[in-house]
Amino acid sequence: MDSVIVFFANASYEQIEAAAAPLGLSGDVVTREAHQFYFRRYSSYEQLAELEVQEAKAIQSLLGSAPESAFQVASHHGAAASCALEMVSQLMQQFPAS
């Protein structure tokens, strides 16, 4: 299983939640047809608990500010990964690039 974490400097946890729900990204496990993947949201407080200091500083340096929210997507290879990427792409397009 592979995963990716996407950080947002200009979108709050609540904004991500509001945009994710209509796409069907409302639970930790997302099922679309026969495909399943994991979608975990992180507030800025949860990120601090998960990240080491060096990681947080590196992310902040890349974004230009501290991330307000983040989400992690994890799936198996193949069709489930393609489905996850398609849905995550739709979500990311709703927010300006950080």
| CB 6 within 8 Å of CB 40 | no
Residue-wise burial string across 53-69, b where 16 or more C-beta atoms lie within 10 A, e elsewhere: eeeeeebeeeeeeebbb
SS (H, E, C) 27-85: CCEEEECCEEEEEEEEEHHHHHHHCCHHHHHHHHHHHCCCCCEEEEEEECCCHHHHHHH
d(CA 73, CA 95): 17
Could you tell me the residue ranges of all domains in the chain?
Answer: 2-92
* pLDDT above 70 for 98: no
**59-80 per-position pLDDT tens digit:** 999 988 888 888 899 999 899 8
Terminal Cα-to-Cα distance of the chain (whole angstroms): 27
pTM exceeds 0.85, yes or no: no
Task: Report pLDDT for 95.
Answer: 85
**4-55 per-position pLDDT tens digit:** 888 888 888 899 899 999 988 887 888 888 888 998 888 877 887 888 999 9
